[in-house]
A = this chain, B = another copy of it.
Amino acid sequence: MYSFRNDYSEGAHPCVLQALSRTNTAQTCGYGQDPFCLDAAARIRALCHAPKADVHFLVGGTQTNLVTIDALLRPCEAVIAAHTGHVNVHETGAIEATGHKVCAVPSPDGKVTCEMVESVVRAHSSEHMVIPRLVYISDTTEIGTVYTQAELAALRRCCDANDLLLYLDGARLGSALTIPGADVTLPDLAALTDAFTIGGTKNGALFGEALILTTPCPRFRWHMKQRGAVLAKGRLLGVQFQALLKEGLYFDLARHANEMAQQLRQGLESLGCTMAWDSPSNQQFVILPDPVIQALQDGGYEFETDHPAGPDRTCIRLVTSWATPTQAVDTFLQDLAALLPTP
């Protein structure tokens, strides 16, 4: 049975593996200073129209978040994030472990708004309180929603007005940029944020996140090293991002994941299921009766449960990826249809 547990259930897209094999015997220096990384960074700067941006490659998302946020903040400074933000709930306190408080704000759709930001800023008025200094957002969000260009531009203005940095966690950025009607581009992100990431792990790489710093962050490589975030064979990151960025593969993979998700969603809605959030991206959250969920699991399907949605109903998360076959979606929908009570 196909697993809809996440978008990193398989290894890498074949092109990525081939690139690793093809370059395997070349000798390079370590730690991300090799020609592959330099070239991949140059490509990213070009794609972002950000010739002066500082580009670094890291292995994982939590690692990238903690190194970047710690490097950008001074000791008493804090992060503003949605309650659902990855740094707030799913990184085992990684940000606090570097000494910084996360000021979490409730958000109905996983997105942070100017109002939320300003409410935190207003509440922190004295030396007895932390200094909110960085707004953390994720795009797509943890519940599948996506920022519009207007929303990001408004956040930028709000950050400028309040001396705040804006950091966008793009672990699933591919999905965000390729939903039909998306109006945000890489150059937009470079122009509107102080730092953002292009996630490889969840979009076809074995692993890897590219960090684009558009604000100065001195000695960033020292920060990486101190947190154990410099890969000895850093070339592996450069080679993978070269492969992903070649001829738009990265975007093609993300578009496929989105299409599979919409196929899934339309099927679920046709079956009368309720979606918990309105997600245009590759994570779908659907509410199902508990016995149906159990039957799907008994049948071998894998997915995560997200939250209880009533006394006998639960919201589950179904994730599609570059590797999801359309047939797997069809089969799942058929199997689900057979389990659902006749309306």
Contact = CB atoms under 8 A, between A and B. Distances in A.
Contacts of A235: 11
A24 B17 contact: yes
Interface in A89-141: 89-94, 96-102, 127-131
Interface stretch (A37-45, A221-229, A264-272): A221-229
Interface stretch (A69-77, A143-151, A152-160): A69-77
A63 interface: yes
Contact of A101 (B59, B93, B201, B231): B93
A94 B10 contact: no
Taking each of A66, A78, A93, which has the highest tally of chain B beta carbons within 10 Å of its own beta carbon? Answer: A93
Interface in A49-88: 59-67, 70-71, 74-76, 78
B94 A225 contact: yes
Contact of A207 (B65, B232, B323): B232
Nearest to A219: B76
Contact of A97 (B17, B75, B90): B75
Contact of A225 (B74, B128, B228, B232): B128
Contacts of A12: 24
Which range holds the interface residue count of chain A? 35 or more
Contacts of A6: 30
A189 B338 CA distance: 56
A292 interface: no
Interface in A5-23: 5-6, 8-12, 14, 17, 20-21, 23
A131 B219 contact: yes
Given A3-B27, A8-B232, A127 B75 contact: no
Contact of A228 (B30, B206, B227): B227
A59 B59 contact: yes
Contacts of A61: 232
B323 A25 contact: yes
A253 interface: no
A193 B235 CA distance: 33
A230 interface: yes
A26 interface: yes
Given A101-B96, A130-B93, A231-B60, A29 B10 contact: no
A11 B25 contact: yes
29 contacts: A8-B232, A9-B28, A11-B25, A12-B24, A14-B24, A17-B21, A20-B206, A21-B21, A25-B323, A59-B59, A59-B231, A60-B231, A63-B228, A66-B228, A89-B129, A91-B225, A91-B226, A91-B228, A92-B128, A92-B129, A92-B130, A92-B225, A94-B225, A94-B228, A98-B99, A130-B222, A131-B222, A207-B236, A228-B229
